[in-house]
Structure 1
Amino acid sequence: MLLYKLWRSFIKETLLLKRDIGGIVIIFVMPLLLIVTITLIQDSTFKNMEGSKIPIIFIDNDKSEISESIKKQLENSKTFELLTDFNEKSAEKAVFGGDYQMAIVIPNNLTKDINTNIESKVQAIVSSFGLETDSSAIKQNISKAKDIRLYFDPATNISFKNNVMNAVNKMVFEIENKKIYKAFQDQLGTTEDLKNNSLIAFKEITPKKGNRDVLPNSVQHNVPAWALFAIFFIVVPLSINLVKEKSQGTSVRARISPTPYFIHILGKTFTYLIICVIQFLLMVAVGIYLFPYMDLPQFDVTGKMLPLIIVTVFAGLAAIGFGVLLGTVADTQEQSAPFGATSVVVLAAIGGIWVPVFLMPEFMQAIAKFSPMNWGLNAYYDIILRNSGIGGIAKEIIFLFLFYIAMVAISLLYERKQNAV
């Protein structure tokens, strides 16, 4: 009997949705347009960065060995296009005015002063071995460190600044090391070539599929992220329907009918859960079949479809629970619609859809741990990028289900309190 009532409730919700074809189209089409647009932008930006160079101003006041070496390494990096027709004053004005991202100014006598410093320090070390040297001459030859001046556009991203400064520091460090080796070679009078080879190297270990490295791409990040955003966006139509039922008296008839009110909620849950799964399948279909025709990587779900759908079901439950609560508490569509849309965007921001959680401030990272979107996103990433099974995502699934139970329980208690005589 309860199953029959649940079925009738499901039919009722389906008929209500059929009356709003425009809303249903938006539910399905909007996420597809979003995922295609965002993925194209991110992927094309990545490709453009690979094929284009950033123009920066390079001013060489040294015009000697070290400045030439720095210039050559910058040109060989395939990242920068060096502009040399500036003096320091005009470069400062151009960069601070936003015309260029940055300027690098090599100081006068950089090569000469570094050579003098290295020679003096090497002589001091050699003298500590018992060899005679003029200590007063050593002290006189040591000069202050030279500054390579870097000008950045005030609007430049901090990570870009740090990357450039680290790259310049590495170049200067390598040049100094080579000169120190050469100075020791000259002081000791050895004819053996002391090559300055690095004793430590970095090797990235990536997951493998057979003999092939599995490298993350924009599609693997965007499909689950925006599928999750679409799933939670059903909060808006679900809450609006609940508010309509209250304003039209449908909820009153549901309460006085012999069917328990929780059956009414379960009917909505099953209806919108089917919508969530369809949304996800459409997003996956776009990633598998459409993206390759748009010169984007294909979304690979080989052997992962079942756990992905399981995550989708529980993420859908969490979204439905939130929508039920919002529709129960709100009195008008003017309250539920804007609040629902805004809250989904906020949850997406907190959950790591817009910005990765590890880039957030510590306080926001702590808040992200309580976001249902973050649980869902981590579960998707565990399956797609970390090759986890059901056991690896059990915690996130439990959290999502408990969130649904909590939201529905609060809704039922609120509804009962509001209608208590």
Structure 2
Amino acid sequence: MKKILSICLFEIKRTFKKKSALVVMFAMPLLFTFLFGSIFGKDAVHSLQIALVDEEQTALSKDIIQRLMLDGMITYELVAASEAEELLASKEVQGIVRLEKGIASKLRNEEPAISFQSSPGMATAPLVKQQVNQVIQGVGVYVAAAQVGSSYFDESWESVYGRITDNGGQIQVWTEQQTSISSGNPVTGISYSSAGFSIMFVMIMMLSMTGILLEARQTGIWSRLFTTPVTRLQVLFGYFLSFFIVGWIQFFLLILLSSILFDVNWGTPVALIFLVTALLLCVVGLGMAIAGFVKTVEQQNAIGTLVIISTCMLGGVYWPISIVPDVMQKIAKVIPQTWAMEGFTTLISEGGNIGDIVMPLIVLLGFAIVFLSIGLSRIKHAF
């Protein structure tokens, strides 16, 4: 164990002695967070202003409106149809969502029940459409359930639906939770950017650190190490431990600095520890896997940087996944950053606990197992 710690502490000290490493670890992510966070807004991410017109005026339409207004990234304003047109013409809103008459029958027949009109050139129109569709799909499930229940209870489906939503049914419980969460700690542009760029620059730093393995082979450090009473496993574990500890120091300080400088609330500490740990295992594994396939540090940096930048774009680090086309959203499901961002935004916006981020944790640990298995097997043969 003493030999492992010696290797680990040596690499940690060497890393923090480099000024360029400190710039990448702390200065760059904070700068990018400030720049991108300022663009999206430091207040709650409510840059999308949408007029909401209720042409139906029933309990069902009001229930849909309530769910639409829970969204943390879109601000809906309930107005009359004529006023909505005026607001859109004056560019005070970016679009109009209309709950059309006969919405109940359309839902039962699986027909479009809501129309959306956006201003010309609105790049975020897909985000609004997706959010509206998700709400409609969710409500549609309960409408179908209410229809089935009406045949058993010998009453109208509207009555059954009302009991589901008003008397402790799952929709009502979910609504109360989300209302409390949304009003308590909404996602902001600065907090979203803080999570995203912390992930990205930790990945860049881990890529640089895992390049040490290639450097050690090129300079003959490994050959000299193996002339001493130390095993290959001890050497590998010493390096791995140094990568992991440096990653944790970087992420911890970024969390601390963003909390102080940008007032970012990262959520429950215990859940945050589990999520960061899973992410770091995944990132270190990815770096080691790349190191196992390339021959030089230059190749590691070139290929690794390309992989990190491209996957960060696809994984929602720069912008929310919900605004990209459906095909890109499907691709994003196989990218670690997607699940890391999902976990962090859940903790930031909902103040969730470990139970709320189980899926991101499982997926990240799955990626970690795959990457580490590939990396360790390749490095074992390469060194």
Superposed pair shares fold, TM > 0.5: yes
Change (3 A) 1:301 1:78: farther
- Offset, 1:342: 1.4
Report SS of the residue matched to 1:268: helix
Q: Which residue of 2 aligns with 1:277?
A: 248
Which residue in the other structure is 2:211 paired with?
240
Specify which of 322, 334, 342 is matched with residue 378 of structure 1. Answer: 342
1:413 paired residue number: 377
Match of 2:11 in 1: 13
Residues 259-278 of structure 1 mapped to structure 2, 5 A cutoff? 259-278=230-249
Show the counterpart of 2:264: 299
Q: CA deviation at 1:259?
A: 2.4
Residues 321-368 of structure 1 show CA distances to partners (whole Å, capped at 9, x for unaligned) of 111122232212221112111111112122221233333333332322
One-letter code aligned to 1:333: V
How far off its partner does 1:308 sit? Answer: 0.9
Cα distance in 2 between the residues matched to 1:224 and 1:211: 18
SS in 1 for 2:195: helix
Which stretch of structure 1 is more off in the superposition, 246-255 or 72-81?
72-81
Q: CA deviation at 1:48?
A: 11
> Following the alignment from structure 2 to structure 1, what is the Cα–Cα distance between the partners of residues 360 and 285?
16
CA distance in 1, matches of 2:179, 2:46: 27
Amino acid at match of 2:317: I
Which residue does 1:220 correspond to in 2?
191
Q: Aligned to 2:350, what secondary structure does the other structure show? A: coil
- 1:29 is aligned to 2:41: no
- Larger deviation, residues 386-395 vs 335-344: 386-395
- Map residues 330-349 of structure 1 onto 2, 5 A cutoff: 330-349=294-313
Structure 1: gaps (5+ residues): 52-68, 82-100, 102-149, 164-202, 292-297
C-alpha distance in 1, partners of 2:315/2:261? 27
**Structure 1 pair 327/290, CA: closer, same or farther in 2 (3 Å)?**
same
Task: Note the aligned Cα RMSD (angstroms).
Answer: 3.9
Q: 2:2 aligns with which of 1, 4, 8?
A: 4
Question: 1:234–1:320: 8 Å Cα contact kept in structure 2?
Answer: no
**1:53-100 alpha-carbon deviations (Å, 9 max, x no partner):** xxxxxxxxxxxxxxxx9997655569438xxxxxxxxxxxxxxxxxxx
For residues 270 and 19 of structure 1, the distance between their equivalents in structure 2, rounded to whole angstroms, comes to 18
1:407 and 1:239 map into 2 onto residues whose CA distance is 13
The superposition leaves residues 272-299 of structure 1 with CA deviations (integer Å, 9 ceiling, x where unpaired) of 32322233233323332222xxxxxx32
Question: Is the contact made by 1:239 and 1:328 (CA closer than 8 Å) also made in structure 2?
Answer: no
- Check whether the contact 1:39–1:219 (CA below 8 A) recurs between aligned residues: yes
Match of 1:80 among 71, 84, 91: 91
Letter in 2 for 1:43: G
Q: Does structure 2 conserve the Cα–Cα contact (< 8 Å) formed by 1:208 and 1:214?
A: no
Instruction: Please give the secondary structure, in 2, of the residue aligned with 1:233.
Output: helix
- How do 1:31-46 and structure 2 match up within 5 A? 31-43=29-41
Mapped partners of 1:151, 1:373: distance in 2: 30
2:265 maps to amino acid: D
Equivalences for residues 104-183 of structure 1 within 5 A: 157=123, 159=125
Q: Larger C-alpha radius of gyration, 1 or 2?
A: 1
SS of the residue 2:255 aligns to: helix
Aligned to 1:249: 220
Name the CA shift for 1:11/1:48 in 2 (closer, same or farther; >3 Å): closer
Percent identity between the two aligned chains:
19
Q: Which residue in 2 is equivalent to 1:110? A: none
Determine the C-alpha separation between the residues in 2 that align with 1:393 and 1:73. Answer: 38
SS of residue matched to 1:157: coil
Letter in 2 for 1:356: P
**Separation of aligned partners in 1, 2:124 and 2:363:** 35
Q: Distance in 2 between matches of 1:289 and 1:387?
A: 18
Instruction: Quote how far apart the aligned CAs of 1:4 are.
Output: 1.2
Q: 1:74 to 1:152 in 2, by over 3 A?
A: closer
**Paired amino acid for 2:212:** N
Normalised by the length of structure 1, the TM-score is 0.58
Please tell me whether the aligned partners of residues 230 and 279 of structure 1 are also in contact (alpha carbons under 8 angstroms). Answer: no
SS at match of 2:41: helix
One-letter identity of the residue aligned with 2:248: V
Structure 2 gaps of 5+ residues are: 50-79, 95-116, 130-171
* Partner in structure 2 of residue 144 of structure 1: none
Deviations 1:365-419 (A, max 9, x none): 2322221112222222232223432133233223323333332322232233345
Aligned counterpart, 2:276? 312
Q: Normalised by the size of structure 2, how large is the TM-score?
A: 0.63
Distance of 2:123 and 2:181 partners within structure 1: 39
Question: In the alignment, does 2:326 pair up with 1:326?
Answer: no
